[in-house]
Each structure stands twice: as structure tokens, then as C-alpha cells.
Amino acid sequence: MPRGRTLNTPNWLKELSGSWVFYTRIPTVPYIQPKFNRIARYSPIIGIILGILQASIILILYKLKWPSETLPFFIISLHFWMTGGLHIDGLMDTADGISAGHEHSLKAMKDSSVGAGGVVALIINLFFQFAALIKLKKYYLFALPIAYFWGRYSQIIAIGNYPYINKKGSSAFHKLSWKGNLVESIPTIICLAIVFFIIIYYKFNSSLTIYLLLGTSLGIIPSIIIPKILALRLKGHTGDSYGATVILVETITLIILGFILPV
């Protein structure tokens, strides 16, 4: 194909490619010109792909007899690298904004330096993730895609239900292109149906199947609650708080799965 030429691809594939470019630091598919106006609706799919990639790498390390105690470090490091720390940065900025109080929250979130609130939020979140991952052990393959899926679905809830308070923010385009929660959730619904089908089709032992279905379903709870809590504290959302919702929901979902899935 001549240099600079793009494929005649459908809009949904361009938007999926745009979501990949926007939410990860991994090179995109060549010759597809990404579109960014409605990428948020595809972010849960990106979460599943990232989870599968990370789980596959961890599975290889596990088969190579790498010490199991070190695998959570690999998981978190891989996630930082694949996403460029995009959502962690949002978590720290959001924590600084909440610590500063409503009147000064936006100013604190825009400040390039990280405050005590951001550092504390990062440390607590990492410790909780480590604890959940250590408990999950061999269930990484299931837990990571599920957690990353619901973490990114929380963005759809945040964008669709709460005002965007930073009018000059770079994430304002999400609101401008919004078609309603149900329409924007269609890829998520399809993806979730496929996940349920795979869990049932592969016929794990009956108890594990029930645990996986239950754990996958419960992820919707933090994906709804966390955006609401942050919106109440900030009187709306910003690009940073979108990132914070992703990280917090991922962590909470991992903890839920840690409680539910059998050792």
C-alpha cells in the first residue's frame, strides 16, 4: 500500500483505533486513520484487550517458574507502561483537588506538582492492588480483563451522567459527541454478553462458573458508585477525575474478585 494511504475503514473501527491511541501507549494498527470524537464507548473493549495481554505475559512468566510473589509487580508495571500512567496521573490530580476543597479544586488539579493528597492516594491504591493481586494468584487471567473492563466502563457513566466542569479541558470533546448512555453502552453490552457466553461455554466446574459470573456482574457496582462519589465531591467531572474513576474501579473490582474467587 502506498505510503500515507489509509484503508476505507468503517467509522466504528476508526473510533476503536482512536480509543487505542488515546488510552494506551502501544502502537496502533497501520493504515487506519483513527477518529476520536466517540472513543469513550470503546474504552471497555480496550480494557479487556489490555487485561488479556497482561495476563498472557504473566501466564508465560508463571510457566517459566518465575517466583509468584513478584508477579503483581510485573502486572502493575506493565499496566503503567501500556497506559503511560494516564489514569494514575488523573487519580493523583483528583486527590489533590479534593484535598484543596471545592473552591480551589480545579486550580489544584491543574497544578503540575503533586501534593500530599495525590501521593497518599497513589500509595494506598497501589497497596490495595498488590493485596488483591497476591490473593488472586492463578486467577489473573480472569481478573485483569474483568477489572480493566469495568474500570473503563466507569468513564461512560461519568461522562453520561455528570457535568464536565473544566470548560477548557482537553476531555470536553467526550460530552460534545455524546449520544446518550444507552447508545454509548452498546459495545459494552455486546462485549459483556460475549464474556458471559465464554464463561458458560468453557464449562469450568460449576462453582467456578458461578463465581466468575457473579464476580463479573458485581463490577458494575463500583463503576456506578465511584463516578457518583467523585462528582459529588467535585460538583462534576474533569479529564483527571475520569482517569481517577478508572483506577479506583479497577482496584475495587480486583478486591471484589479476590473475595469471591476461590483460592
Beta bridge partners of 164: 237
Distance CA 136, CA 262 (A): 8
The pLDDT score that the predictor gives to residue 138 is 80
Q: Which of 43, 11, 18 is nearest to 159 (CA)?
A: 43
The pLDDT score that the predictor gives to residue 135 is 92
84: left (phi over 0), alpha (psi -120 to 50) or beta: left
The pLDDT score that the predictor gives to residue 116 is 84
Determine the 3-state secondary structure of 58 from DSSP: helix
The pLDDT score that the predictor gives to residue 152 is 95
The pLDDT score that the predictor gives to residue 2 is 43
The label of the residue with cell 491543574 reads: 110
Instruction: Specify the pTM.
Output: 0.90
The CA R_g of the chain, rounded to the nearest whole Å, is 19
Residues in the chain: 263
The pLDDT score that the predictor gives to residue 113 is 74
> In this structure, what C-alpha cell is assigned to residue 243?
482517569
Helix-helix angle 140-161:239-260, to 10 degrees: 140
Per-position pLDDT tens, the chain of length 263: 444 454 567 887 888 888 888 888 887 767 778 888 888 899 999 999 999 999 999 989 988 989 988 999 999 999 999 998 889 989 998 998 888 777 777 777 777 777 888 899 999 999 999 999 999 988 888 899 999 999 999 999 999 999 988 776 667 777 778 888 899 999 999 999 999 998 888 767 778 888 899 999 999 999 999 999 999 999 999 888 999 999 999 999 999 999 998 86
Distance CA 216, CA 225 (A): 16
